[in-house]
Amino acid sequence: MALECDLIIRNAEIIDGTGAARFAGDVAVSGERILAVGALPEAHATREVDAGGLVLAPGFIDAHTHDDRAILGDGRLALPKISQGVTTVVTGNCGISVAPVRAKGKALPPLNLLGEDYESCFGTFREYADLLAREKPPINAMALIGHMSLRVEAMAGDVDRPATAEETAHMRRRLEEALDEGASGMSTGLWYAPNIKAPTEEVVEVAAPLHARNALYVTHMRDEANDVLRSIDETMRIGRAVDSPVVISHHKCSMPENHGRSRETLPALEAAARLQSVAFDVYPYAASSTILQPNRLHPAVKVQITWSTPHPEARGRMLDEIAAEWGVDRVTAAERLLPAGAISFMMDEADVRRILAHPMAMIGSDGLPHDAMPHPRLWSTFARVLGHYARDEKLFTLEDAVHKMTGRTAAVFGMTDRGEIRPGAFADLVLFDADKVREVGTFADPAHPAEGIVETWVNGASAYTPAGGIASDHHGRLLVRGRAD
Ligand SMILES: [Zn+2]
């Protein structure tokens, strides 16, 4: 039977995203969706690609990003993702989102990870969604609403305290409105000052609209160090009280005192998963990155500066070196660098591996696209999982690695018809060389595209090649949890 379609990728090793073993075959695409998978010698297409035995996988899904703004405009800031084969990002994590925020002036940390002032935020989620619809992004996005963004508006910037009942009601209304306008969940960043002042009850009250809309509760927990188990308990309590699925962000055991404790946290998460819906994301590095917080420095943890407003020349340098040069202690040096961002080398590699390899894990980069000298996870997370951890270290099979960044993620977030290669699914695809794929970015020199990615497609259209860069016409869109359009 002659099959007419727009694109055929022939002679591929297909890893379909379900975790199943790879198989040789062709993939035919018609419009935005996959039409057929298998041996398709009779098919004809406007464009035929000979994969030459390379791996074809569903486009990768970055479960944890701060790309709210990076996907806007000409899409240049999406290059770190799309050059790794990422075709969808989840935005609005850690309690910080660009919408809905009605406020004026300089953005409070950590909201300044997304931009310097509130004027660059969106007053309603609808404004943000309309902009994405009008000027398509280069990749797809699913959006969460940040608890801190809600707090800044409801509490008129006076956020270093629990919210009043009235303020909580305001946040709840704004969340409800945003969910009705296309957001898919709410995120918290309870570890950050000022949100650490928000009691569990405040979160439960604000998050009440999630259940009726089948939306997610996603959290950067109150503590990932000594109190990590207590924080898992709090998270599960919130999930049960709100009756919503839970995603724990960038799961880790922070600080030397807690190295090895993934042996406790993972069984705790498995036990919780028997009672309620819970998943977690993780990035493949033993160093974290966020805003620099002088009161949270640990004497045994090395710190590298990623940006500093008063001292831009400090980017990429170690805090201890700067302190020595200035003849001050590291806390004083850190205070002088503010506002600033930093990388902290505070995890144990064995924990990172145990968490990555766990069947509940999804891959999320937590990359910071606006940092002057970003943590290499921005440009390299997916290539590092495929190359370093799957191929070289054999921590898991390539099929498992792909599943953790496609099928599993799409299922957890409710991205309908995404994350798998099968007839009827959206044609978000990546062609890569499994022998060559590797991360190029390092802590010293992070901003380099991965090697081994041959081509990326978004909704059926070619979106990236190493030679051509990001295609000039964009085909991404806002995804809504549970919706197939
Ligand atoms: Zn976070």
Q: Give the chain's residues under pLDDT 70.
A: 1
DSSP class of 320: H
Distance 142 CA to ligand 1 centre (A): 17
- How far is ligand 1, taken at its centre, from the CA of residue 66, in Å? 9
354 φ, ψ (degrees, to nearest 5): -60, -40
Ligand 1: distance of its center to the CA of 250 in Å? 7
Lookup: tokens for 6: 């727009």
Tokens 């959206």 correspond to what residue?
426
How many C-beta atoms lie closer than 10 Å to residue 417's C-beta?
Answer: 17
Contact predicate 107/117, CB 8 Å = yes
Task: Say how many Å lie between the CA of residue 472 and the centre of ligand 1.
Answer: 32
CA 52 to centroid of ligand 1, rounded, Å: 40
> From ligand 1's centre to the CA of 261, what distance in Å?
19
Q: What is the rounded CA–CA span in Å between residue 257 and residue 239? A: 28
Question: Contact 175/209 with Cβ under 8 angstroms?
Answer: yes
- Ligand 1 midpoint to CA 385 (Å): 20
Contacts of 379 (CB under 8 A, 6+ apart): 80, 83, 84, 367, 439, 440, 441, 446, 447, 448, 449, 450
Q: What is the 228 CA–ligand 1 centroid distance (Å)?
A: 14
Contact 144, 182 (CB under 8 A): no
What does the pLDDT read at residue 1?
57
Sign of the C-alpha dihedral, residues 176, 180, 183, 184?
A: positive
Question: What digits encode the pLDDT tens for the residues 320-352?
Answer: 999 999 999 999 999 999 999 999 999 999 999
Long-range contact set of residues 134-137: C-beta below 8 Å, sequence gap at least 24? 135/72, 135/73, 135/474, 136/474, 136/475, 136/476, 136/477, 137/71, 137/72, 137/75, 137/78, 137/474, 137/476, 137/477
C-alpha 94 to ligand 1 mean position (Å) = 4
Q: What's the gap in Å between 221 CA and the centre of ligand 1?
A: 8
Q: How many angstroms does the Cα of residue 79 sit away from the middle of ligand 1?
A: 21
Sheet of strand 340-344, all strands in order from the earlier edge strand to the far edge:
288-291, 340-344, 303-308
Distance between Cα 93 and ligand 1 center (Å): 7
Residue 114 CB neighbours (<10 A): 25
What is the distance between the alpha carbons of residues 256 and 348, in angstroms, rounded to a whole number? Answer: 8
Cα-to-centroid distance, 286 and ligand 1 (Å): 15
Instruction: For residue 433, report the distance from its CA to the centre of ligand 1, in Å.
Output: 31
Angle between helices 147-154 and 165-180 (to 10 degrees): 130
Tell how far the Cα of 112 is from the centroid of ligand 1, in angstroms.
13
CA of 343 to the centre of ligand 1 (A): 13
Closest by CA position to 407, among listed 14, 22, 17: 17
| Ligand 1 mean position, distance from CA 220 (Å) | 5
Q: Is 317 exposed, middle or buried (CB count within 10 Å of its CB: 0-12, 13-18, 19+)?
A: middle
User: Domains, the chain, ranges and CATH?
Assistant: 3-57+429-436+448-472 (2.30.40.10), 59-289+345-413 (3.20.20.140), 290-344 (3.30.1490.130)
How many residues does this entry show for the chain?
A: 485
CA of 196 relative to ligand 1 center, distance in Å:
13
Distance from residue 424's CA to the centre of ligand 1 (Å): 34
Report DSSP letters for 50-109, one per residue. Answer: E-TT-EEEEPEEESS---TTTTSTTSGGGHHHHTTTEEEEEES-TT--SSS----SBPPT
